[in-house]
Amino acid sequence: MAQTLTIIGEQLWKRREGLPALRYAEAEIAEGEPLELAPGIFLLRLPLPFALNHINVYLLQERDGWTLVDTGIHTPANRALWESVFRAPWFTRHGPLRRIVVTHHHPDHVGMVGWIMEQFAVPVLMTPGELEVAGRYADPARDVVSERTPLWREHGLPDAVAAELLQHMPRYGTQVCALPHGVIEIDTREPLELGGRRWVPIIGRGHSPEHLSLLSEDGAVLIGGDQVLPKITPNIAVWPGGDPNPLHSYLATLQRFEDISASTLLLPSHKQPFYGVARRVEEIRAHHEERLRVVLDACVRPMTGYEFLPALFERELRNEQVGFGLGEAIAHLNFLESQGLLASSVDGALVRRFERTGLHPAHGRNE
């Protein structure tokens, strides 16, 4: 029975066998070209200036216009692309934009909201938790990146690396247009009427505070945002003032997706749309289980979060990748500590180190 024990634990992961393999709906998606994936639901791929070089946003056709889900990051390229879309016959023949729905506060999702709202004066809908964080991050009086320095220092990031991070990490306000006033807070207990369908909100946590996914009431389509992605996993990281155990929160909210039908088409924010949500949930859990074991095996002495980066990431992290990587390492370390497998202490220099407790992943048995 020992081989069936998991670090994640049975409360968060009741493993399931025999789930159908993932099936991808589209192999090729052209940037800036609308692709109809279900009646009245169009994918539009926009460029991103990162290693992950694109985001998928979705246009839902209304009787007298369009609903847009997510907007892309604020860049000149995306502004030009949106101007082209809004002039295109396929868009104008169905009427103007009627509303914007935002899955979460990250710049690649909310970045163009302010500019698009200026063009159409349409309502914007967000969950309360995402709106609060977006407003805080967009406050010009705050330097959110600099506020991360104490957390980085606590987890062993050398001052020279921190200084380089401060120089290279992009500021939220440079990637997001000024957020409009009067954003409508979504009541996540009630279905939304969008594009001729009723959609049930599914709230995810861990990647962001109150991430919105939308499942059509007939179960045919799931607009997933970043919560469940194919081939890659969303960044799960600790940030100042945020969830101290985001990996636990993320794994817990994955349970809300595990019973979705294999015939449901998941429309993700990155990569290709696919069928097989429950199978992908199992794969994501297995990925984090493997990452947790890597961290646990690497802990051969008291170590800072920064010292775990070579074990977690085979490639060398550069510039802002170090900040995201360290946040991810801390998330896995905090999860292991919450499971009783690691313990941490802070030294006189206020640097935190983690060490093994000698407990087995069976929760309480000595190795």
At residue 87, the 3 state secondary structure works out as helix
- Tokens representing 356 are 């093994």
Q: What is the pLDDT of residue 40?
A: 98
Superfamily designation of domain 20-278: Ribonuclease Z/Hydroxyacylglutathione hydrolase-like (3.60.15.10)
Give the pLDDT mean for 84-98: 96
Reference 296, options 366, 356, 346, 360; nearest CA is 356
- Where are the domains positioned within the chain? 20-278
Predicted confidence (pLDDT) per residue in 47-67, tens digit: 999 889 999 999 999 999 999
Amino acid at 245: N
In sequence order, the β-bridge partners of residue 131 are none
- Residue 335 bridge partners (DSSP): none
Summarize pLDDT for 223-235 with one digit per residue, the tens.
999 999 999 999 9
Q: What is the pLDDT of residues 142-166, one digit of tens each?
A: 888 889 999 999 999 999 999 999 8
Distance between CA atoms of residues 189 and 221, nearest Å: 19
Q: What's the whole-model pTM score? A: 0.95
On the CB side of 20, CA atoms within 13 Å amount to: 13
